[in-house]
Structure 1
Amino acid sequence: MRKDIHPQYGPVVFRDKAAGFAFLTRSTLSSATGAKTVEWEDGRTYPVVDVEVSSASHPFYTGTARVMDSAGRVERFERRFGKR
Structure 2
Amino acid sequence: MKADTHPNYPEINVTCSCGSKFKTRSTHGRDMSIEVCSQCHPFYTGKQKILDTAGRVEKFKQKYGM
* TM-score range for the pair, normalised by the shorter chain length: 0.5 to 0.7
1:22-64 per-position Cα deviation (integer Å, ceiling 9, x unaligned): 1012333322xxxxxxxxxxxxxxxx11112110121111222
TM-score by length of 2: 0.60
Q: Distance in 2 between matches of 1:6 and 1:26?
A: 14
Identity of aligned pairs, percent? 40
Aligned-residue offset at 1:68: 5.2
Q: Report the count of equivalent residues.
A: 53
- Secondary structure, counterpart of 1:60 in structure 2: helix
> For structure 1, which runs of at least 5 residues remain unmatched after alignment?
32-47, 73-84
Higher percent of residues as strand: 1
Q: Aligned equivalents of 2:43 and 2:51: distance in 1?
A: 13
